[in-house]
Chain A
Amino acid sequence: DQQVKQNSPSLSVQEGRISILNCDYTNSMFDYFLWYKKYPAEGPTFLISISSIKDKNEDGRFTVFLNKSAKHLSLHIVPSQPGDSAVYFCAAAVFYNNNDMRFGAGTRLTVKP
């Protein structure tokens, strides 16, 4: 069962522009959401998270937006840089049951110089 979906397998943007990566979830019990970034030959690295009590969390160039009614979250990267080129995974969990964190299939972002 795919409780977390990233429907865009890939995204290409120009350097300096905004990158928007989307994620949908189906389980209304999820109350904690994370984004991970993965470079080739490396494990995923934690990027940013958001609790369901918030609708926005910002960290430098990265902002995550949560729309609970639509069961949708998005990651905005502004401005995009070539070093941001990676696979981005969305993840969701019930905070106190984090051993059941569910991941999306990932979106490959390419930022062109």
Chain B
Amino acid sequence: DSGVTQTPKHLITATGQRVTLRCSPRSGDLSVYWYQQSLDQGLQFLIQYYNGEERAKGNILERFSAQQFPDLHSELNLSSLELGDSALYFCASSARPELSDGYTFGSGTRLTVV
């Protein structure tokens, strides 16, 4: 158990629908990062939050949004889903925005859009 909890582990939904992925960071970690891994691709950075504030955006579609709540958990909202959104979505957390320890990743949510 890495200490980063992602729910649900699996999600199957239809095109056009909206889903919410949830992440609870490791205790004490203020930064949360969301990554998308499509088939045979590397992890693509989507968005980062630090202590409730959006810190950086990567390749995140306008149909996607995220937020970090006062208790530091984060949610990634995916709307108007398309078949191409099927992927593994990882959340990672870190204590502070430095890389000396790397990130701690959750086990991911596998999203299948049918």
* Set of chain B residues within 8 Å of A41, measured between Cβ atoms: 107
Q: Is the CB of A43 within 8 A of B108?
A: yes
**B99 at the binding interface (Cβ < 8 Å):** yes
Specify the main secondary structure of chain B where it touches its partner.
Answer: loop
13 pairs, A vs B, C-beta closer than 8 Å: A4-B42, A9-B40, A32-B99, A36-B102, A45-B2, A45-B105, A46-B103, A49-B100, A89-B43, A98-B97, A101-B103, A103-B35, A105-B42
Complex Cα spacing A19 to B19, Å: 41
Beta-carbon nearest neighbor of B99 in chain A: A98
Partner of A43, one of B42, B56, B90, B100: B90
Q: State how many residues of chain A have any CB contact under 8 Å with chain B.
A: 27
Total A-B pairs, Cβ < 8 A: 66
**A65 at the binding interface (Cβ < 8 Å):** no
A residues 30-84 near B (Cβ < 8 Å) are: 32, 34, 36, 41-46, 49
Complex Cα spacing A91 to B105, Å: 14
Specify the main secondary structure of chain A where it touches its partner.
Answer: mixed
Residues on B lying within 8 angstroms of A by beta carbon are 2, 4, 6, 33, 35, 40-45, 48, 55-56, 58, 90, 92, 97-108
Could you tell me the distance in whole angstroms from the C-beta of A43 to the nearest C-beta in chain B? Answer: 3
Q: Is the CB of B43 within 8 A of A98?
A: no
Complex Cα spacing A46 to B45, Å: 16
Q: Is the CB of B42 within 8 A of A95?
A: no
Complex Cα spacing A6 to B42, Å: 9
Q: Is the CB of B107 within 8 A of A101?
A: no
* Set of chain B residues within 8 Å of A46, measured between Cβ atoms: 101-104
Q: Is the CB of A95 within 8 A of B99?
A: yes
* Set of chain A residues within 8 Å of B90, measured between Cβ atoms: 43-44
Could you tell me the distance in whole angstroms from the C-beta of A65 to the nearest C-beta in chain B? Answer: 18
Complex Cα spacing A109 to B41, Å: 16
Contact with B along A91-110 (1 / 0, CB 8 A): 10101001111111110000
Beta-carbon nearest neighbor of B92 in chain A: A43
